[in-house]
Amino acid sequence: MTLRTFVAALAATFALSIAGAAADTTTTPLAIDLTASNWKFTPGTIVAHPGQTVVLHAKSVEGAHALISDDLGIKPVMMLPGRTVDVTFVAPAKPGKYYMHCHLPCGPGHDKMIVEVDVQ
């Protein structure tokens, strides 16, 4: 190997490692503690990158609720006090706003129980 090819190989390796590191920042799974109460989800907005895996540690701190999202392919998951359930989904490849909401008629504020997933 000549010095020239060695330097070229070193430069290529370095460029690849930079590309790999950049990709990691968007594909690192995002863990969120999501709580339900009467009548809201906290946090109300989640920001994720396209294709990023999101793990919700979901629990209720008040009353019985359920989480569902047709947008994100999440089947109904019960959220009950004293119990944490992990819900995993992959953020869509297309940037935009997607929604999760409460699936269990839980009282007068039920319709306000929405989580916005902002994919950017």
* Neighbour tally for 55: CB within 10 Å: 14
Residues in the chain: 120
Residue closer to Cu ion (CB basis): 34 or 113: 113
What minimum distance in Å lies between the beta carbon of 31 and Cu ion?
24
Shortest approach of Cu ion to residue 114 CB, angstroms? 10
Interface positions with Cu ion (CB under 5 A): 102, 104, 106, 110, 113
| Smaller CB separation from Cu ion, 50 or 63 | 63
Q: Which of helix, strand or coil describes residue 107?
A: coil
What's the closest the beta carbon of residue 18 comes to Cu ion, in angstroms?
46
Q: What is the DSSP letter of 110?
A: G
Half-sphere exposure at residue 110, Cβ-oriented, CA atoms within 13 angstroms? 13
